[in-house]
Amino acid sequence: MPNLDTFSGNWTEKEARHLLKRSSFGVTQNLVTTSVSLGLSGTIEKLFEENPLPEPPLKYLLDGVGNDEINDPGANYGETWVTSPPYPEVATTQERTRIYNSRNRSMYAWSFLQMQNAEISIREKLTLFWHNHFVSENSNPHREYYYTDVLRRNSLKNFKELVKQITVDPNMLIYLSGSQNTESAPNENYARELLELFTIGKGQAFGNGDYTNYTEDDVIAIAQVLTGWRVRGVQQTEALTSWFSNFNHAKGNKNLSHRFNNAVISENGANEYKDLIDIIFKQDECSRFISRQFYIWFINSELSAEIETNIIEPLAKIIRDNNYDIVPALKVLLSSEHFFENTFCMVKSPIDLMLSATKSLLFSAPKTSVNDEYNFAYVLYLAATDLNQSYLHHPDVAGWKAYYQEPLFYKSWINSYLLPKRLDYCRIIVSGGDLIIDEKKYTVPPLVPVLLIASRITNAQDPTILITELSNQLFNYPITESQITTLKDILIPGLPDFEWTVEYSNYINNPSDNAMRISVDNKLRNLIAVMVQMSEFQIM
């Protein structure tokens, strides 16, 4: 029977790798070794440490007027554009559009760098979770940055307070028409999503406009509560903050339905939305709703009646007991026997896949220049986008289908069109080559340090040990004897084991022999390029 009892088994590399894969992006052997030394409780504490926030994104295109250059009045090369005005004062609309595009690209690349560079920390995984939970979109890079900054700053904090901040965030007010919601022209977009997608869920219909957790009349009343919030145009000062217009606010009390115990929200001007959210969060279903979202994100998409009773309900109680601080519940969930029983049941998201194929194989952004570093990360963003997970650009307000659409859930990431692309992108990251995205070519050099990876495996001159250890690192569970035999044939086609033993040993003894080095590098690269295309690498 599933339960939230603390995992009591042996803490080995297998368990450490499972926890780190699910709670972060990509796992190096060094991080696994550190986690094993920390133990389960030590790793959990490390994951939830409050680390300093990252420095803001930089202008990474060189100064100039060429195709790969830009003159941004808000920032020189290597400086952040975040502190500059959100509306560049330039001569033409075309110039402004180019500046916006360069800042957008910087924002996307920088976001991938945060995920790539995070070590034993859950913050970036939770930031992406909230990004998928509170879907919002805006083409202005400043508003994108400040929105994700709210998510990152609050990623380990209080769910209820985050909902309050999101409700009056300029990005969300624009995206779901909250800035157009006035007493004379009420707009129900945000009110509806606040209930259905962000806090409590819809549930089954019991009558016309009456659902398990709210009614259509509640949507109407909540829209009135939220009237009056405005956002200034991007050309204006204070464009990045919202403001309250009492003139546009619907006055008087607002009455909620029996679903909220007929609560009355009294007139309270600019603070009325806070009163509303406090009332919504008095419903226990809010804790169950977010518990299910965490469960699907971190554990499994199958929410059976047994899971509801033995996992969701006690998890929800922990959240309520902590007044919607989420960390205590997540620590229990990720430390549980149930978490470590649910392995290899989740198809990696495109972002997880791309960062598994880079970080796990010690392929990091080049440190030669800001331009090189950001260009590397931007290609990862484009690849994930091409695989249907576009950061900051969801398909709809419900988020990515993998986390809500039954019955496929994670399988949404794979179909006859996407799977060949996934496999090819993984291969190219290892072997190098050209990624063709939207008919544009991006060249990926063969920078995975395959010789370094092999050097960290004891007795790598034995092809069985080499392949077994690589599979443990990449797949986190044993492969079959027949798979090992097949992979040996990739490493040393048609040759006996000792041929690899001799060649690798000769290389170790003569590392300055360039021809020998190239030969061993090619063999290892071919082997690992095949392994990252195996179905075992697609799941975690």
Q: How far is the C-alpha of 129 from the C-alpha of 131, rounded, in Å?
A: 5
**Is 45's pLDDT higher than 90?**
yes
Residue 68: pLDDT over 90: no
pLDDT at 171: 95
Q: Which of 232, 233, 234, 230 is nearest to 245 (CA)?
A: 230
Tokens of 453: 């990876």
Residue 415 phi/psi, 5° resolution?
Answer: -150, -175
pLDDT by residue (tens digit) across 72-110? 999 999 999 999 999 999 999 999 999 999 999 999 999
Which pLDDT value is given to residue 27?
93
- Whether 60 maps to a domain, the answer reads no
pLDDT of residue 414: 96
In this prediction, residue 281 carries a pLDDT of: 98
Rounded CA separation 389/246 (Å): 40
pLDDT at 335: 98
Report if residue 497 sits inside a domain: yes
Query: Is residue 364 predicted with pLDDT exceeding 90?
Result: no
**Residue 298 in 3-state DSSP?**
helix
- What's the rounded mean pLDDT across residues 509-523? 95
Specify if 176 maps to a domain. yes
Please indicate, yes or no, if residue 4 is contained in any of the structural domains: no
- Residue 528: what residue type? I
Distance, in Å, from the CA atom of 404 to the CA atom of 401, rounded to the nearest integer, reads 5
Tell me which of 283, 313, 330 is where a domain ends.
283
The pLDDT tens digits of the residues spanning 133-192 come to 999 988 899 999 999 999 999 999 999 999 999 999 999 999 999 999 999 999 999 999
Residue 486 has pLDDT above 90, yes or no: yes
Please, which pLDDT band fits residue 367 given cuts at 50, 70 and 90? confident
Angle at 310 between CA 284 and CA 410, to 5 degrees: 90
Nearest Cα to 163, choosing from 192, 139, 133? 133
Beta bridge partners of 443: 434
Name 264's bridge partners.
255
**Considering 237, 258, 283, which residue would you say is the last residue of a domain?**
283
Domain extent at residue 191: 158-283
**What pLDDT, on a 0 to 100 scale, did the predictor assign at position 150?**
98
The rounded distance, in Å, linking the Cα atoms of 12 and 32 is 9
237 band by pLDDT with thresholds 50, 70 and 90: confident
Distance CA 162, CA 357 (A): 33
Q: Is residue 337 part of a domain?
A: no
Let me know if 55 is exposed, middle or buried by CB neighbors in 10 A (0-12, 13-18, 19+): exposed
How many domains does the chain fold into?
Answer: 2
Domain boundary among 256, 283, 310: 283
Local confidence band at 496 (pLDDT 50, 70, 90 cut-offs): very high
Q: Is residue 131 situated within a structural domain?
A: no
Task: Write the CB contacts of 87 (distance below 8 Å, at least 6 apart in sequence).
Answer: 96, 234, 235, 239
Burial degree of 225 (CB within 10 A; 0-12, 13-18, 19+): buried
Determine the 3-state secondary structure of 255 from DSSP.
strand
Residue 384 to residue 420: CA distance in whole angstroms: 14
Residue whose tokens read 């990624």: 435
What is the average per-residue pLDDT within 456-484?
Answer: 94
Does residue 174 belong to any structural domain of this protein? yes
Mean pLDDT over all residues of the chain? 95
Write down the pLDDT at residue 138: 87
Residue 454 CA to residue 412 CA, distance in Å, equals 34
- Closest residue by Cα to residue 141 from 115, 92, 102, 170: 102
Considering the entire predicted model, what is its pTM?
A: 0.96
Q: Measured between alpha carbons, how far is 212 from 259 in angstroms, rounded to an integer?
A: 8
